[in-house]
C-alpha cells in the first residue's frame, strides 16, 4: 500500500499538474517575447549606469515629460544618477511650479530641489481632455507596476511596427508588439535622433529606450544600490552566524545519544 | 492566603521580584529546564520560527504605522514616501511585506508537520484547535494588511473577499455594506482595516500565549509519536533546543533576507504598484500565494454559496480533525497507509495552489475539482476509515530505545545526566 | 552549565573541549547581539527626520520687501524666524548697551553678520517656555526695549533679541544663516 500511494498521488495530481505547467509557457509564447537587452542594474551586484541614467533623464525631460508625470519623485532624487547639487538646482529652477502668491492668487515660482517633479497636467481630467480621453500613466513606479518590469517598458518603447495584415486597429490606436492586446493609444514616442546627447552617444531608438528605462528603474527603486550592498553584507554576516551557531549546536549536543 | 513564593534565585533583586511574582521561576520552568523529547528533528523548529516572525512583523509594523496614512487619497503616496524618504523605510516595508509570506511558509510547514506526526491527537486536541484559530487570525490580518498600500490588487482583493459574505442568504448584503462602511470598498473601509490590522497581531500574541500554555501542559509530541516514559527520553529545553532553534532561525533569516534585499517584489503583484482605481478592475485578480489553495476551492464549486462554504469549510474541518482521525497511532512513521495519503494530500494542496494562480479554464478546472474533492475526501472519509483498517507497524518501546530493545545499560540523557568523559 | 577551566596541554580532552565550547559560545553570543543591534537600528533610525523633511531644512528669504523699522516672520523647520530690518538708531542703541546691564551678556556684533548689522535674524521662540513673542508686526507691542514682548509671561527682548526682562533666562536663539547677497539670506 505504501508503495501504491506514491504512484496514486502522481497519477492524481503531480502528472496533470506537470502537463499543465509545461503547457503554460507554451501559451505565453504566443505573446511576443519581451526583449532583454541586459541591464547595468541586473543581478545582486548590479548598479545604475550613471551616464545612461543621465541620458535617460534627458529623454524623459524632452520626450516623456510632455505627457507623463513622475509625481512621486523629487528633483533632489537626481543626485542618485550622479548630478551635482548645483546641476540639480539649475534643473529645478528651469521649471516653474504652481504656488500661492503673496496676493493670495495662484502663481508660479521656480522649482526647488525639494519639489516634486512637475506634472504636465494639473489633474486627471485635464490630461484626458487634452489627450483624446487617454490617461498617460504616472511613471514613478512604472517598472514595478508592469509584468516584465524594465524589459516590458523597453519592449513597448521599441515595439512599434506596422500592424500585421488583416488586423483591425481601433481609431487613433497604434500597433505595438509588447503591449497587451497590441493596440496602444500612445503614438510612437521615440525616433532615431529624437534627442541630441551631449556625450556624443548616438541616439538610436534602442539607445534612447535603453537609457530612459535605466532612468525610470532608478526612479522606481532609488534605494536599490543601498539595498543590494546592505544585502550582501547581511548575507555574509548571517552565513557566518549560521556557521558558528551550528558549531555550538554540535558541541552542546555532542553528549546526547 | 497563598503566601509568598519561595524563590531559589541567588541574585537578590531577582529573588525579591520572584518571591512576590514568580515570573523568573516560571520562565525557568517553562523555557530553561522544561523537559523536551530528545528526538526532535528540524521540523520542530517551525513553532519558534513563527513566534520570532510574529515579533518581527509587530516591530516593523509599529514603525511603518508611524509613517503610513490610512486615507484613500494619501495611502499610496504615503507608502511611496516610506520607500523613498523615511530612513530605512524601504527595509521596513520590504521586510514586512515579505515577512507575511515567510510567516505563512513557516506556519504551513508547522501545520503539515503536525499532520504528519499526528500532533493533533489526544491529548493535544485543544492545542491543535488553538493553532487553527491562530491560522484564521493570521489570514484575516494578512488580508487587511494587503489592502493598506491601496494599489489595484489591494482594492480589488478587498472587493472580492468582502463580497464573499454576500453569498449568505438574507443577511449577506447587509453584512457586506457593514464591512465596507459604504456601498463599495472605500475610505471608511481602509480606515477600519488599518485599525484592525494593527489590533489583530496583538490578539494573535494572546492566542499564541494560550497555544504555548496548552503545549506546556501536554508536552510536545515527537517524531515517533509515542509518549515520554522516563526522564531519559527528554532533555532540558535550554541549551539543547534553544541552540537548535537558533540554527534554524539563522537559516530562516537568510532565506528572508534573500527576498528582502535581492527580490523584494518576488511575492508581490505588479498591479499593486498601480494606485487603486474603483472604476477599473485589473485583467486578472489573483490573491497572494498563501491564499491560492482556498481561492482554487472557491472557484471549483460552480455555485456562489457552495463555493464560499467549501472555502471556509476547508479550514473549519481542521477543528474536528482530532475526532476524524480514528487511529490511536500518532506518527505517520508507523502508519503505512496514512503516510501515503499524507503525501497525496500535500500534492493536492500544492495542486490547488497552482490551480488558484491560473485562469479557471480547460484542464485547470478539472484538476481543481479533483484536488478539492480529494481535500475533503481525505479528512472526512479516508481518515476515519483507514484508522480502523490500517495495521500500524510495531511501536518502539520508548524514545530512548527507538527501534527494538537492545542489550546494555541505560543510555545517557535526561535533565541532569552528563557523561563524565567522552565515549 | 558548569564551566571547567581548560587544563594545560595535558591529555585532558574534556577540559580542552569545554574551553573550545565556551569560546564558540562567546563568538556566537556576540554575533547574535550584533545581529539584534543591526535589526534594531533601522527601526530607531526610521523615527529620525526623513529625507523630505531634511530637504526642507533650508529656506531662502528675499529681504527687499522689508522696510526699515519692520520685520517679517518666515517658517524654518516648523519654527518662526524673525527677520527685522533695524533703523540706524535701533542698531546704534543695540551696539551701545553696556554688557553689564544684560541678563545674558552678549555684544550685538556677535548676533548679526558683519556688514549687515541692520538685519537681525532670530528664532522667534521665547527662551522661557516656548511661546512666540509679539513685536514683529507694526501693530504689536514691542516692550520697553523696542524689540519683542512675550505675552505669556511678560519677558522682554531688545532690538538685538537679547532678553532684558525675565522670566526668560536666555537671549533669543540665532538660526544658522548666511547672506547670499545683500538682499537675500539662506536660513539653514
In 3D space, the residue among C126, C92, C123, C124 whose CA is nearest the CA of residue C109 turns out to be: C92
- Tell me the C-alpha distance between A83 and A229, whole Å: 21
Name residues whose C-beta falls within 8 Å of residue B79's C-beta, 6 or more positions apart in sequence. Answer: B68, B93, B148, B149, B150
- Give C62's strand partners: C184
Which domain CATH number covers A148? 1.10.760.10
Please state which of the ranges A131-135, B286-290, C1-5, C116-120 shows the lowest mean pLDDT.
Answer: C1-5
- Is residue C111 within 8 Å of C174, Cβ to Cβ? yes
What are the φ/ψ torsions at residue C5 (nearest 5 degrees)?
-70, 140
Task: Output B379-384 pairs: Cβ under 8 A, ≥24 positions apart.
Answer: B379/B317, B379/B318, B379/B321, B379/B324, B380/B317, B380/B324, B382/B341, B383/B321, B383/B324, B383/B325, B383/B326, B383/B338, B383/B341, B384/B324, B384/B325, B384/B326
The answer on B354 and B253 residing in a single domain is no
What count of other Cβ atoms lies within 10 Å of the Cβ of residue A3? 9
Tens digit of each residue's pLDDT (9 = 90 or more) over A132-159: 888 999 999 999 999 999 999 999 999 9
Which domain CATH number covers B362? 1.10.287.980
The answer on B193 and B120 residing in a single domain is yes
C36 vs A12: which has the higher pLDDT? C36
Q: Averaged over C12-39, what is the pLDDT? A: 76
Within a domain: B18:
no
Tens digit of each residue's pLDDT (9 = 90 or more) over C40-97: 999 999 999 899 888 887 788 888 888 888 888 888 888 899 998 988 888 888 888 8
Within a domain: B175:
yes
Report how many domains make up chain A.
Answer: 1
A133 touches chain B (CB under 8 A): no
The answer on B297 and B378 residing in a single domain is yes
In chain C, which residue's Cα lies nearest the Cα of A255? C14
For position A231, what pLDDT does the model report? 96
What count of other Cβ atoms lies within 10 Å of the Cβ of residue C40? 11
Within a domain: B335:
yes
Under the banding of pLDDT at 50, 70 and 90, the label for residue B413 is very low
3-state secondary structure of C186: strand
Q: Which of B44, B237, B339, B340 to mutate to test the interface with A (most CBs of A within 10 A)?
A: B340
Within a domain: A250:
no
Q: Which of A241, A242, A250, A255 to mutate to test the interface with C (most CBs of C within 10 A)?
A: A241
Q: Averaged over C168-176, what is the pLDDT? A: 90
Contact B264 A227 (CB under 8 A): yes
Range(s) of the domain holding residue A177:
42-223
The answer to ipTM > 0.95 is no
In chain C, which residue's Cα lies nearest the Cα of B86? C50
B245 is catalytic: yes
Domain ranges of chain C: 1-48, 53-187
Tens digit of each residue's pLDDT (9 = 90 or more) over B209-240: 999 999 999 999 999 999 999 999 999 999 99
Within a domain: B63:
yes
- DSSP 8-state class, residue B167: G
The answer on B88 and B179 residing in a single domain is yes
Q: Does domain C53-187 have CATH number 3.40.50.1100?
A: no
Under the banding of pLDDT at 50, 70 and 90, the label for residue A30 is very low
Report how many domains make up chain B.
Answer: 2
The enclosing H or E element of B357 equals helix B336-357
Q: Averaged over B319-348, what is the pLDDT? A: 95
The answer on B292 and B240 residing in a single domain is no
- Is residue C163 within 8 Å of C157, Cβ to Cβ? yes
Name residues whose C-beta falls within 8 Å of residue A97's C-beta, 6 or more positions apart in sequence. Answer: A108, A109, A110, A111, A115, A118
Rounded to a whole number of angstroms, the distance from the CA of A73 to the nearest CA of chain B is 8
Does pLDDT of B409 surpass 80? no
Tens digit of each residue's pLDDT (9 = 90 or more) over B104-130: 999 999 999 999 999 999 999 999 999
Give the one of A5, A72, A141 whose C-beta lies nearest to B344's C-beta: A5
Contact C52 B88 (CB under 8 A): no
Angle ∠(A155,A157,A161) on CA atoms, nearest 5: 85
Range(s) of the domain holding residue B358:
286-394
Tens digit of each residue's pLDDT (9 = 90 or more) over B40-70: 999 999 999 999 999 999 999 999 999 999 9
Which domain CATH number covers B239? 1.20.810.10
In 3D space, the residue among B343, B231, C29 whose CA is nearest the CA of residue A3 turns out to be: B343
C-alpha cell, A52:
545612461
Contact B91 A246 (CB under 8 A): no
Name residues whose C-beta falls within 8 Å of residue A120's C-beta, 6 or more positions apart in sequence. Answer: A65, A66, A67, A68, A69, A127
Q: Which of B66, B86, B253, B417 to mutate to test the interface with C (most CBs of C within 10 A)?
A: B86
Chains that touch A (3 or more CB pairs under 8 A): B, C
Contact C38 A237 (CB under 8 A): yes
Burial zone of B76 (CB within 10 Å; 0-12 exposed, 13-18 middle, 19+ buried): buried
For position B412, what pLDDT does the model report? 41
The number of CA neighbours under 13 Å toward the Cβ of C6 is 10
Within a domain: B22:
no
- Tell me the C-alpha distance between A94 and A178, whole Å: 35
Under the banding of pLDDT at 50, 70 and 90, the label for residue B375 is very high
Angle ∠(B267,B271,B273) on CA atoms, nearest 5: 90
Tell me the C-alpha to C-alpha distance, in Å, between residue A93 and each of A99, A164, B195, C76.
Answer: 14, 46, 42, 21
- Dihedral of CA A147/A151/A157/A158: which sign? negative
For position A167, what pLDDT does the model report? 87
In chain C, which residue's Cα lies nearest the Cα of B81? C52
Rounded to a whole number of angstroms, the distance from the CA of A223 to the nearest CA of chain B is 7
In chain B, which residue's Cα lies nearest the Cα of C52? B85
Does pLDDT of C21 surpass 60? yes
C14 is catalytic: no
Amino acid at each position: 500500500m505504501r508503495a501504491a500511494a506514491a504512484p496514486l498521488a502522481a497519477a492524481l495530481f503531480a502528472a496533470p499538474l506537470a502537463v499543465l505547467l509545461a503547457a503554460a509557457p507554451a501559451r505565453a509564447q504566443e505573446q511576443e517575447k519581451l526583449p532583454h537587452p541586459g541591464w547595468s542594474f541586473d543581478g545582486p551586484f548590479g548598479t545604475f549606469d550613471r551616464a545612461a541614467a543621465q541620458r535617460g533623464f534627458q529623454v524623459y525631460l524632452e520626450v516623456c515629460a510632455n505627457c507623463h508625470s513622475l509625481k512621486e519623485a523629487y528633483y533632489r532624487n537626481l543626485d542618485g544618477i550622479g548630478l551635482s547639487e548645483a546641476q540639480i538646482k539649475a534643473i529645478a529652477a528651469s521649471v516653474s511650479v504652481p504656488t500661492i502668491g503673496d496676493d493670495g492668487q495662484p502663481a508660479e515660482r521656480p522649482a526647488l530641489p525639494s519639489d516634486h517633479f512637475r506634472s504636465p497636467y494639473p489633474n486627471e481630467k485635464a490630461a484626458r481632455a487634452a489627450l483624446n480621453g487617454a490617461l498617460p500613466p504616472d511613471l514613478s513606479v512604472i517598472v514595478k507596476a508592469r509584468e516584465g518590469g524594465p524589459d516590458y517598458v523597453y519592449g513597448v518603447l521599441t515595439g512599434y511596427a506596422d500592424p500585421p495584415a488583416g488586423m483591425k486597429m481601433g481609431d487613433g490606436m497604434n500597433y505595438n508588439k509588447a503591449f497587451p492586446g497590441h493596440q496602444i493609444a500612445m503614438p510612437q514616442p521615440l525616433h532615431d535622433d529624437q534627442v541630441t546627447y551631449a556625450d556624443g552617444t548616438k541616439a538610436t531608438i534602442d539607445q534612447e529606450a535603453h537609457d530612459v528605462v535605466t532612468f525610470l528603474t532608478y526612479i522606481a527603486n532609488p534605494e536599490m544600490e543601498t539595498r543590494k550592498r546592505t544585502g550582501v553584507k547581511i548575507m555574509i554576516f548571517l552565513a557566518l552566524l549560521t556557521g558558528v551557531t551550528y558549531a555550538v549546536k554540535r558541541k552542546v549536543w555532542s553528549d546526547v545519544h | 492566603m497563598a503566601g509568598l513564593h519561595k524563590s531559589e534565585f541567588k541574585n537578590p533583586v531577582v529573588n525579591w521580584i520572584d518571591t512576590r511574582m514568580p515570573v523568573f521561576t516560571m520562565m525557568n520552568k517553562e523555557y530553561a529546564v522544561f523537559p523536551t523529547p530528545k528526538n526532535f528533528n528540524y521540523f520542530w523548529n517551525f513553532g519558534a520560527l513563527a513566534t520570532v516572525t510574529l515579533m518581527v512583523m509587530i516591530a516593523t509594523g509599529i514603525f511603518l504605522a508611524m509613517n503610513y496614512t490610512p486615507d484613500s487619497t494619501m495611502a499610496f503616496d504615503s507608502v511611496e514616501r516610506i520607500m523613498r524618504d523615511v530612513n530605512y523605510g524601504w527595509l521596513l516595508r520590504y521586510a514586512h511585506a515579505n515577512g507575511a509570506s515567510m510567516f505563512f511558509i513557516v506556519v504551513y510547514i508547522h501545520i503539515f508537520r503536525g499532520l504528519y506526526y499526528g500532533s493533533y491527537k489526544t491529548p493535544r486536541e485543544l492545542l491543535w484547535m488553538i493553532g487553527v484559530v491562530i491560522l484564521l487570525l493570521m489570514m484575516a490580518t494578512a488580508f487587511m494588511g494587503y489592502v493598506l498600500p491601496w494599489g489595484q490588487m489591494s482594492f480589488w482583493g478587498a472587493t472580492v473577499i468582502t463580497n464573499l459574505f454576500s453569498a449568505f442568504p438574507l443577511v449577506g448584503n447587509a453584512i457586506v455594506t457593514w464591512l465596507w462602511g459604504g456601498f463599495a470598498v472605500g475610505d471608511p473601509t481602509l480606515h477600519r482595516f488599518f485599525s484592525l490590522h494593527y489590533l489583530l497581531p496583538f490578539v494573535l500574541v494572546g492566542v499564541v500565549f494560550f497555544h504555548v500554555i496548552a503545549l506546556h501542559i501536554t508536552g510536545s509530541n515527537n517524531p515517533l509519536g509515542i509518549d515520554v516514559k522516563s526522564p531519559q527520553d527528554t532533555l532540558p529545553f535550554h541549551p539543547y533546543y534553544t541552540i537548535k532553534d537558533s540554527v534554524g532561525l539563522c537559516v530562516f533569516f537568510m532565506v528572508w533576507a534573500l527576498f528582502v534585499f535581492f527580490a523584494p517584489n518576488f511575492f508581490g503583484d505588479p498591479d499593486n504598484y498601480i494606485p487603486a482605481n474603483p472604476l477599473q478592475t485589473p485583467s486578472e485578480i489573483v490573491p497572494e500565494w498563501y491564499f491560492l489553495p482556498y481561492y482554487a476551492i472557491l472557484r471549483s464549486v460552480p455555485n456562489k454559496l457552495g463555493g464560499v462554504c467549501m472555502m471556509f469549510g476547508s479550514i473549519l474541518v481542521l477543528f474536528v480533525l482530532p475526532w476524524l482521525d480514528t487511529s490511536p497511532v500518532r506518527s505517520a512513521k508507523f502508519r503505512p497507509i496514512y503516510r501515503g495519503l499524507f503525501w497525496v494530500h500535500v500534492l493536492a494542496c500544492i495542486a490547488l495552489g497552482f490551480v488558484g494562480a491560473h485562469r479557471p479554464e480547460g484542464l485547470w478546472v478539472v484538476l481543481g475539482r479533483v484536488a478539492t474533492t480529494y481535500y475533503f475526501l481525505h479528512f472526512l472519509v479516508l481518515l476515519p476509515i483507514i484508522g480502523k483498517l490500517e495495521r500500524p507497524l510495531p511501536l518502539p518501546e520508548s524514545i530512548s530505545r527507538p527501534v527494538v530493545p537492545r542489550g546494555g545499560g541505560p543510555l545517557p540523557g535526561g535533565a541532569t545526566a552528563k557523561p563524565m568523559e567522552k565515549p | 552549565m558548569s564551566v571547567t577551566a581548560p587544563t594545560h596541554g595535558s591529555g585532558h580532552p574534556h577540559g580542552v573541549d569545554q574551553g573550545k565550547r565556551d569560546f564558540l559560545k562567546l563568538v556566537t553570543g556576540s554575533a547574535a547581539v550584533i545581529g539584534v543591534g543591526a535589526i534594531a537600528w533601522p527601526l530607531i533610525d526610521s523615527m529620525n527626520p526623513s529625507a523630505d523633511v531634511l530637504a526642507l531644512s533650508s529656506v531662502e528669504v528675499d529681504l527687499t520687501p522689508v522696510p526699515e523699522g519692520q520685520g517679517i516672520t518666515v517658517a524654518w523647520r516648523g519654527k518662526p524666524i524673525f527677520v527685522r530690518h533695524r533703523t540706524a538708531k535701533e542698531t546704534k542703541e543695540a551696539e551701545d548697551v553696556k554688557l553689564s546691564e544684560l541678563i545674558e551678556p552678549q555684544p550685538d556684533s556677535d548676533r548679526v553678520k558683519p556688514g549687515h548689522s541692520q538685519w537681525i535674524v532670530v528664532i522667534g521662540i521665547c527662551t522661557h517656555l516656548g511661546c512666540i513673542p509679539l513685536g514683529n508686526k507694526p501693530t504689536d507691542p514691542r516692550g520697553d526695549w523696542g524689540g519683542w514682548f512675550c505675552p505669556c509671561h511678560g519677558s522682554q527682548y531688545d532690538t538685538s533679541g537679547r532678553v532684558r526682562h525675565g522670566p526668560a533666562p536666555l537671549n533669543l536663539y540665532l538660526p544658522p544663516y548666511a547672506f547670499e547677497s545683500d538682499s537675500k539670506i539662506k536660513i539653514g
